Structure 1
């Protein structure tokens, strides 16, 4: 395959050559003749490679990659990107491999093509996992060369333009994927023109009936609104000229997907969506932007709380504009955007402006740098993610940022998604800050870590070196970085704790034979690791701690000829001192929710696969079931010093009178006890049942609470939940 055979003459070759000539004509506006010739050669090679392949619409397959290159040519991409676009399906779908592409067109083009190729060879357990892994590879390839995603977006746009040939179910799946992933990526990279078309086509194919109804409704209301916007355009343009400001004033119509999302989010009928039409003012400089803002605010009163300065604080994708909403003619609110010409190019082209601008210090390079910074965050996220599906979910969260801007105590601006909390802020500063944060001050006042932040607030994080992330944080953090960092830390933390517990359990099982694991013969340890096909001895210890391996059986394998192997394993497992329970063991020692054991209760431990040791009261009903597996019993005992609170559940039958809740709560508060949860059930109109979950230190404090509650005349019956 070292030489390119001539392209066979077919009844569509004239059409092919015509399309290649059209592409070359577009390229002649900004590329050198040698570069155009290289793109032309790539087109003919792609035609040979895809010979005999046709799209579902019936046209030759090669027309698709040429159309993808045409989309990129309109944004003036370099010739290597255009060649990669033309060849993007060659490695995946034809007999030609990466080596052949590199030999003919160079390593750079081959790497780009390889980055765009999908992972169709790998078999996955589900479609979701396959899709997630494809996206994971795409983001990794993007991090190496951002042009990969440009080809991918252009490929998706042309596929969406020709989606009508697909069966309905496939159309809906591709349209949903476009709206959930590809359109937001285009938006995140600042490529507004691409995002708008992807959203329009995605909406049309995912919800065809809703799209048609909304399109017709907007068309009917277009007359009156256009007249208002036309008057506004003329008046604003004349006012700016009076002040010596030359500007382009453009009336624009909000696209249907944006209208639909607003109607759904705010539960509005179309007649109440006032920013269907908007005005855009494009001027020559930043100073003129602010002058123009003052002039339009003098013409029409602004709507309070709707002004946003994205020039001083640009969006994450580099977007800059002044946004304001005015009370226009007849009291109709009109959205207005004011920006410079350079900002307008950036807003429409985003990262692609890197190729539109020619000077090395231009704004396009700044957008490129911002995109690379975002991709580096994604790389960090994928390293911390447990699997591809988790990574894809994190990326989806990161792709829908409705921004909130807050300040550090030093005045630095931190951009976060809407709904972000102090914990998200801490992780945005640095992973170590997030991992060790214990409290936060918002505008110099202490605030709960889960408090959603608002624009303009100053946030200060208080850290303690010994602190660690709380699993409960996963319930309220919204940034992908925070979620991935917390999960990563907790997974490692659980492994470390499991190893420590596994070591204690194995040493307990080996008691009387060796005093510590360090005394075990190295050859026996190595043999056990190989026998169990485990990565390391530490992994075996972690499995013991998590309850997936049994310590006494492994002790017998490690030292098969010592220590009275005729004795029952359950009996040998009980040798030596019991495990001391302090209430702060972490993730691998937990307490049964069925019986809620407290310090002072007689307790037993049971090894549960994946959870480690679960501690129960010995009177718990579930204990009887566990007796069928004596090898999983662990002897446990409360430590003498315990500094932790434990949940306990009480059931109260009370007289259904006014103020009974207040009496119960006041009685509990007198004993310095915290109520974690409370639920009530009315029984017969005369009595009611109150189920309480309290936080107590031990049985002594519980006895004090129960004594105080029994003294209340409203309490008819009181009991602690047994199981």
Structure 2
């Protein structure tokens, strides 16, 4: 553990103007507050915040960050208060300590909810000051270093899993690769102890058998590069066990089949020397096609810059080589902390924190713990591809991303208005996967809005969160519209007229937040008519008959066909189309399910409120379902398709359900305008010699 004078001397070595007295006071304060508290290792508890502060000095962070590291557990684990810290150490330190404190574990929640809530608070705290992230990452790293002292295996595994899924990716996202690698290694050791022991054992055997091999290859690289007049440093090592295990799992191969276990780093003085060194290595040793990546011209989202290549050294031995300047290396290893802007009083470049804005947007859009975790993991994981706007702006996206993901990456409003896309000048469906170098043009419309179906191919957390939020808002608005129509009919049953004041009072009596909340509650059947009447005019429902004897709706609620809206769903059992008499089933907390009036499911009795519905005059059709028995001979299926085409009906789905000579039976879903359109098609099918029987389902 660092002693008091050692910690202060470390800070003064790179920040000679730091307030030595304030640093000493913070050290003494944390020692006094934590007092006799012990860690699982048996060490005094205050050794932990002191070590975290030590990690911060290695990154040469400012005085306020060092003091935050020293004090970060005092509010959570001692009698210290935020007010006291503000009085003794200033408002900034108090705010930072409060930010770290908010990330404490929430033991009453399930594991996924707890992880999501920690992440939610984490992102909010980070959005206010990124130094909170740096302290928390150091806090988690030191806790992982001492994790083996915790007796409970379940607790060790839970902490390791949370570290692997949240903290290691966050460290990667701010470019702190040293922290990321160590967190992954320590988590891997807890989560997969047998695999960890096996791989480390194999690496030790390779090290023993091929003693000096890494040094030999490094020397060969150095001699080749020095011979070209380049001033460079070369260092080599075996890959980390977790990196090897991950590659084995992804490729489904054994340890022996992993050929690129060795990795080498070449450090140069300038960017020009990086490309010169790459040329020398490629001319001296055979490069492996498809394994070259230029992160200097197109840096990663966290600011990482380097040239990556793989070479065949000798005897089919593959090695990875990273080439970068010394300055790049420092930034790559410690990322955000390596050139922390607080030292100069500036702000972080957009390249460093642009991804954070996306995470904050996801935070606002996600509605529950599972959704938040899903979307943030999508935002933090996955390999990247690069795509361009027609004007040449570059965007990084995960592999498998589509034009919808690209549109939301450019701007949320552009994603919401998308109706089509061009990739490299060619019209493509919105679900088309993008590849490196694609030029993407988004075609938009003022009347467009996000579709629920987009979730089946959107892959970025930002896009999925925005789509879900838009769908929820649309669904809420449509349910509120249903509720408003039902509310108007409820009001007509009251003994006398009411004004806006009565509505406001009803919202209060029902303990709802707004008038819209009331309409949504009515639309979702969470409130029945009697409850609404009593809230609007207490005592007004006393004289009313039981609900089943109440008057029917005076005005049917109109629905449209193919796009009935989020609040309406056309029933799969009867597939109603415009022209059918329809009725709606409304269940608490759900949308309205639309059935034809003669649906067999209704005859069996259902536990739901019935709503009188009608087809909107602007209806754009619906999907009708047919069953057709075709003779088993060449050309019959083509003849049926020709009948659909002549009648301008689009086939949405076709499935063979039975094969029994001489007949084949198909179930077909068709887009039709209305009942008359569907009836004409059925008549045409029945008149054909190719078709034995055709009926509507």
- TM-score in same-fold range (> 0.5): yes
Counterparts in 2 of 1:123 and 1:456: CA distance versus 1, 3 Å: same
CA contact (8 A) 2:105 2:118 kept: no
SS in structure 2 of the partner of residue 452 of structure 1: coil
Structure 1 residues 326 and 543, CA, compared in 2 at 3 Å: closer, same or farther? same
Specify the alignment match of 2:578 in structure 1: 599
2:241 aligned partner: 256
With over 3 angstroms needed to count, the CA separation of the structure-2 counterparts of 1:86 and 1:684, relative to structure 1, is same
Task: Say if 1:669 and 1:271 are closer, same or farther in 2 by CA, change over 3 A.
Answer: farther
How far off its partner does 1:321 sit? Answer: 0.8
Separation (CA, whole Å) in 2 of partners of 1:203 and 1:564: 67
**Range with bigger deviation, 365-374 or 698-707:** 365-374
- Paired residue for 2:403, among 418, 422, 434? 422
Specify which of 424, 431, 434 is matched with residue 415 of structure 2.
Answer: 434
Report if the CA contact (8 A) 2:331-2:339 is conserved: no
- Give CA-to-partner distance per residue, 1:260-304, whole Å, 9 cap, x none: 111111212222222211222111111111122222221123222
Looking at structure 2, the residues matched to 564 and 154 of structure 1 have their Cα atoms a distance apart, in angstroms, of 65
Correspondence for 1:527: 505
Corresponding position of 1:612:
591
Structure 2-normalised TM-score? 0.91
Superposition map of 1:485-496 within 5 A = 485-496=466-477
Q: How does 1:170-189 map to 2 (within 5 A)?
A: 170-189=155-174
Moved more, 74-83 or 258-267: 74-83
Query: Partners in 2 of 1:182 and 1:564 — Cα distance?
Result: 59
Change (3 A) 1:575 1:366: closer
- Map of 2:26 onto structure 1: 42
The answer to whether the 8 A contact 2:34-2:46 is kept is yes
- Give the C-alpha shift of residue 58 in structure 1: 1.8
Q: Which residue of 311, 314, 328 maps to 2:299? A: 314
Cα offset, 1:161, TM superposition: 0.8
SS of corresponding position for 1:549: coil
CA distance in 2, matches of 1:521, 1:218: 80
Q: How many equivalent pairs are there?
A: 695
Please, what is the CA RMSD of the aligned residues?
3.1
Residues 486/45 of structure 1: CA separation in 2 closer, same or farther (3 Å cut):
same
Mapping for residues 417-566 of structure 1, pairs under 5 Å:
417-511=398-492, 520-551=498-529, 554-555=532-533, 558=536, 566=544
Q: Distance in 1 between matches of 2:333 and 2:612?
A: 68
CA separation of 1:96 and 1:552: change in aligned 2, threshold 3 A: closer
- Does 1:380 pair with 2:361? yes
- SS of aligned partner of 2:586: strand
Cα distance change, pair 33–634 in 1 and its aligned pair in 2 (3 A): closer
Moved more, 193-202 or 41-50: 41-50
Are residues 125 and 299 of structure 1, via their aligned partners in 2, closer, same or farther at CA, if it must alter by over 3 Å?
Answer: closer
Distance change >3 Å, CA 568–CA 366, structure 1 → 2 = closer
Q: CA deviation at 1:475?
A: 2.0
Note closer, same or farther for the CA distance 1:332–1:357 as it changes in structure 2 (3 Å cut).
Answer: farther
Q: Aligned pair in 2 of structure 1 residues 274, 662: CA closer, same or farther (>3 Å)? A: farther
Q: Given the superposition, is the C-alpha separation of residues 623 and 670 from structure 1 closer, same or farther in structure 2, using an over 3 Å criterion?
A: same
Separation in structure 2 between the aligned mates of residue 271 and residue 168 of structure 1, nearest angstrom: 31
Q: C-alpha separation between the residues in 2 aligned to 1:655 and 1:222? A: 72
TM-aligned CA distance change 1:194 to 1:511, over 3 Å = same
Distance 1:98 1:212 in 2: 44
Tell me how far apart the structure 2 counterparts of residues 25 and 688 of structure 1 sit (CA, whole Å): 87
The 2-side partners of 1:553 and 1:19 are apart by 69
Separation in structure 2 between the aligned mates of residue 38 and residue 369 of structure 1, nearest angstrom: 33
Are the counterparts in 2 of residues 509 and 573 from structure 1 also a CA contact under 8 Å? no
The counterpart of 1:32, out of the listed 16, 19, 22, is 16
Which string of whole-angstrom CA distances, capped at 9 and with x for unpartnered residues, describes residues 54-82 of structure 1? 11222221111112112222222222212
Q: What TM-score, normalized by structure 1, do the two folds share?
A: 0.88
Distance 2:322 2:206 in 1: 23
For the Cα contact (< 8 Å) 1:471–1:490, is it kept in 2? yes
Q: Quick check: 1:552–1:573 contact (8 Å CA) kept in 2?
A: no
Q: Secondary structure at the match of 1:275?
A: coil
Q: Please, which of 668, 680, 686 is the counterpart of residue 692 of structure 1? A: 668
Counterpart residue number, 1:11: none
Structure 1 residue 404 displacement after superposition: 0.9
Cα distance in 2 between the residues matched to 1:411 and 1:66: 48
Question: Contact 1:175/1:206 (CA < 8 Å) preserved in 2?
Answer: yes
> Is 1:674 aligned with 2:659?
no
The answer (yes or no) to whether the contact 2:112–2:369 under 8 Å persists in 1 is no
Which residue matches 1:20? 4
Match for 1:301 among 269, 286, 307?
Answer: 286
Counterpart residue number, 2:140: 156
Per-residue CA shift, 1:394-416, capped at 9, x if unaligned? 22211114111101000111111
Q: Is the 8 A contact 1:406 1:415 kept in 2?
A: yes
Distance 1:120 1:288, change over 3 A: closer
Q: Structure 1 unaligned runs (5+)?
A: 1-15
**Aligned partners of 1:355 and 1:556: how far apart in 2?**
62
CA distance in 2, matches of 1:22, 1:686: 92
Within 2, Cα distance between the matches of 1:658 and 1:325?
Answer: 56
Q: 132, 136, 151: which one pairs with 2:120?
A: 136
Deviation digits for residues 468-510 of structure 1 (CA, Å, limit 9, x no counterpart): 1001112221112211211222222222222222222222444
Tell me which residue corresponds to 1:706: 682
Question: SS at the partner of 2:133?
Answer: helix
Residue of structure 1 equivalent to 2:603: 624
Say which of 529, 553, 556 aligns to 1:578: 556
Query: More displaced, 340-349 or 25-34?
Result: 25-34
Pair 162,120 (structure 1): closer, same or farther in 2 beyond 3 Å: closer
Cα pair distance change 1:56/1:484, threshold 3 Å? same
Establish whether residue 588 from structure 1 lines up as the match of residue 567 from structure 2: yes
Mapping of residues 387-406 of structure 1, within 5 Å: 387-406=368-387
Q: Counterparts of 1:182-221 in structure 2 under 5 Å?
A: 182-221=167-206
The question of 1:61 aligning with 2:45 is answered yes
